[in-house]
Each structure stands twice: as C-alpha cells, then as structure tokens.
Structure 1
Amino acid sequence: MSERPGDLERAVEATLFAAEQPMTELEISAHLEGASVGPVLERLAELYSERGINLVERGGRWHFQTAADLAHLLRREKEEPRRLSRAATEALAIIAYHEPVSRAEIEAIRGVQTAKGTLDVLLEAGWIRIAGRREVPGRPTIYATTPDFLTHFGLQSRRDLPGIEELRAAGLLDPVEEAFAVLTGGDDGDTGAESPSGEEDAD
C-alpha cells in the first residue's frame, strides 16, 4: 500500500464500490494487505452521510446504499415489492426476536403448526438461515436471521428491532399472547385469548 495521505481511504472506498456484496472490516483489511481500516470506515461513513449515497454498516458488514430520502428516485415503476403471507411475517418476527429457534419453538409461540413452505419462503428470500441443530432429542434444525434481513429492513443490528408492544399492536403476535408471555417469561395468566386451533397454515 502507498503511504501517501488519503491513499488508504481511497483504497477502502474503491474496495467497497467494487464489492459484489457487503464486506466485514476483517474482509476489507485482508483485501488491503492487513491495513487497519476501522477508523477509515468511520471517516468515510461521516463523509458520505450527507451525500446521495451513504456508507452504512449492517450486522457487521459495510456497503454503500442510496440515501434513504432519495430512494424513491431510483424505484422502477414495475418494481414489485416482496410480499409475505401473515404466517411468514409472524415466523420471521419470531425468529428475529428469539433466534436461534426451531420450527417447533416457532409453532409454540404462534400456537399453530407452521407449514414447511413458510420457512422455505424466508430461506429463499435470504432473510433467515439454518444455524445448526438444537442439542436435544431429535436434534431439530434451528433458524436465525441473516445480514440481508438487517439490510432489507434498514437495521444496524437486532437491537434496532421494534419493541414487543409495537409488534403486539400490529397484530403480529395475536392470537397467541399467552404462549408468547410464557416463552418470554412474562405473565402466564389468562389473557383472554382464544385457544389456538392447531391447524396448519395454508401457504
């Protein structure tokens, strides 16, 4: 690497522009002969904060993205946003808040069986991943969210997720309030919710 002032900053900038996917600080450093890039990333993030594109960090990975207030200028009229079924939305929320979780644990919170296709949709979207297997009898597969989930929803980390009350107000936890309270250590008394039917979701 050249020792001229600003060369490392330019190299980091070029690396991120050319990257096909977001990169971790370690990956950027390895690409630049082990250079310390943490302070450089912070400077670039500040430099780009008021420009048409921003340098952002999502889940430990850095990438350039269109400034939020200009995103509408780049949307194509025929763009069709990804739409999730209610079952998939609920499953995604549960995974985000409780990861890693198994399908059985998702069903325990939702109060109904979760069709395999529901999780397949989230896997294909790149928003969840298989995180291993639970070390219990049967060794069920467990799921967790991905950096793409954080990027898509504009979250720096899972700490930025909305509060439980906001999810409840949006109806994402209804009608399994009692099961949710038990699983999260809340009041396990009668919430007045009807007993779940146990019927499998239709995808």
Structure 2
Amino acid sequence: MSEETRDEPQEQSLFEAPPMAEQERMVEAILFATAEPVTIRELTGRMPHGSEPREALEHLRRRYEGRGVQVTRIGEAWAIRTAPDLGFLMRQEVVETRKLSRAAIETLAIIAYHQPVTRAEIEEIRGVGVSRGTIDQLIEMDWIRFGRRRMTPGRPVTFVVTETFLDHFALETARDLPGLSELRAAGLLDSRPPPGEGEEDAEGEEATDEGQEDLFEE
C-alpha cells in the first residue's frame, strides 16, 4: 500500500451527524421509552447515520449522577433505573412477589458464582441431584439461560445468569452478587422456615438457611 493511499481521508457521510447534545436527547428518549435494557448496537441502528451513541451515553450517564434515576449499565446493555438508595420508595408498587424454593435459590447461587456451569457440576457442588422443575422455573423467570456447550465428552450444556437477573438486582455484572439479606429484602425468601418444617427439593435433601448464607457470601 502506498503512502498516499494510507493518508487518504475516509469517505465522508452524505449526512452530517446531529450535535452531541441532540444525540444525548435521542439516547435519553430511547432508554426512557424502552422497558428492557438497550445495547449500543440497538442504539446505533435507531439513531441517525454517523451518531456516536457510546459517547452520548457517557455524557448522559454523568448528567444523571446524583439524580433520582440513573443511566445504568446492565451487562452489555444500558437502561434508566431508579437510584439504588431510593429503591425503598418503589416497594408499594410491587403487586406480587414470586418466592423461590431453597433448592432453586441454591441452584441459582451456584450458577451465578460458577458460570458457565453444567448440571453435573451444580449437582456436585450441592451434593444432591437437581430436579428438572428447578431448572425450568429459573429459565421461565428468565433468570438463567443456556450457555455454550462444553467441549468434553457428551458436550453438556452450561447455564449462565441473564441480564434480567442482573437488572432485577441492579447489578452491572455477575461479579457483584446479592447476599441472602438482599434476597430476603426483595421478598424472595421467607425470614425463617415454618416451625417444625424443612423444605426438601425433588431429591429429598433438606436445605438450611445456613447453607444458603454460605452460598451467597464470598
């Protein structure tokens, strides 16, 4: 390649990109109107040619710092969410809370901390088999999904947590996971088991609060 070719300017777009302030307004409108987190690629596809949604997001994120709502990164996507310290104001808006069984909580914790993880690995860590119903419930809630298959004999499927899981707990990545107290505050666990009762999973193993505490605390 000749020196002249390397120094040639890139072809310019026929249409000039909107000013950055206008791009911020566009990103703000999209995030505000969209319930699900939006990726940079999706923003690029919606905005005028030549726009820089990543830069606009950073400007917007800084502008919302300290406000009642924040521009939050959730995995590889972005969303406008209530500031974490004001979450208590939203509790009265909750209509129904879905509680998980202890078997589901343990399974979810193992997947979150060890992802990508196979079913056999989950069972090895728990020391008991995992019922299909437990996995199906977590998939139905869109808190876990299938990951890549392992390049081992049988090519077993793996499980990972979803962006819905991260969004629910206001996490940017799975490295910052909730403890047992956060799960109880969210209404996903009873404060204590009913007197004289112990919940068993499909394979007959009794799970204890102490076991859950270990799983959710590093």
For 2:102 and 2:63, how far apart are their aligned partners in 1?
Answer: 40
1:9 to 2:12 alignment: no
The corresponding residue for 2:38 is 23
Matching of residues 176-187 of structure 1 within 5 Å: none
CA contact (8 A) 2:20 2:56 kept: no
Cα distance, 1:139 vs. partner?
Answer: 2.7
CA contact (8 A) 1:102 1:143 kept: yes
Deviating 4+ runs (over 4 angstroms): none
**Aligned partner of 2:203: which letter?**
E
Cα shift readout 1:106-154 (whole Å, capped 9, x = no counterpart):
0000000111111111101111001133233333221111111111112
Cα distance, 1:85 vs. partner?
Answer: 1.1
Cα distance, 1:34 vs. partner?
Answer: 4.8
For 2:171 and 2:90, how far apart are their aligned partners in 1?
Answer: 21
1:145 to 146, 161, 165: 161
The corresponding residue for 1:200 is 203
1:35 to 42, 46, 51: 51
For 2:20 and 2:154, how far apart are their aligned partners in 1?
Answer: 58
CA contact (8 A) 1:115 1:201 kept: no
| Compared CA separation, residues 5 and 59, structure 1 to 2 (3 A) | closer
> Identity across aligned pairs (percent)?
47
For 2:94 and 2:18, how far apart are their aligned partners in 1?
Answer: 48
For 2:30 and 2:65, how far apart are their aligned partners in 1?
Answer: 18
| Compared CA separation, residues 136 and 51, structure 1 to 2 (3 A) | same
Unmatched runs of 5 consecutive residues or more in structure 2: 1-15, 181-201, 206-218
For 1:78 and 1:66, how far apart are their aligned partners in 2?
Answer: 14
Unmatched runs of 5 consecutive residues or more in structure 1: 168-198
CA contact (8 A) 2:27 2:53 kept: yes
The corresponding residue for 2:188 is none
Count the aligned residue pairs: 170
The corresponding residue for 2:97 is 81
**Aligned partner of 2:155: which letter?**
R
Cα distance, 1:39 vs. partner?
Answer: 2.2
Report the TM-score when normalising by structure 1: 0.73
CA contact (8 A) 1:57 1:63 kept: yes
For 1:22 and 1:41, how far apart are their aligned partners in 2?
Answer: 13
CA contact (8 A) 2:17 2:50 kept: no
Identify the range of structure 1 (15-24 vs 106-115) with the bigger mean alpha-carbon deviation. Answer: 15-24
The corresponding residue for 1:171 is none
CA contact (8 A) 2:18 2:51 kept: no
The corresponding residue for 1:196 is none
Matching of residues 165-184 of structure 1 within 5 Å: none
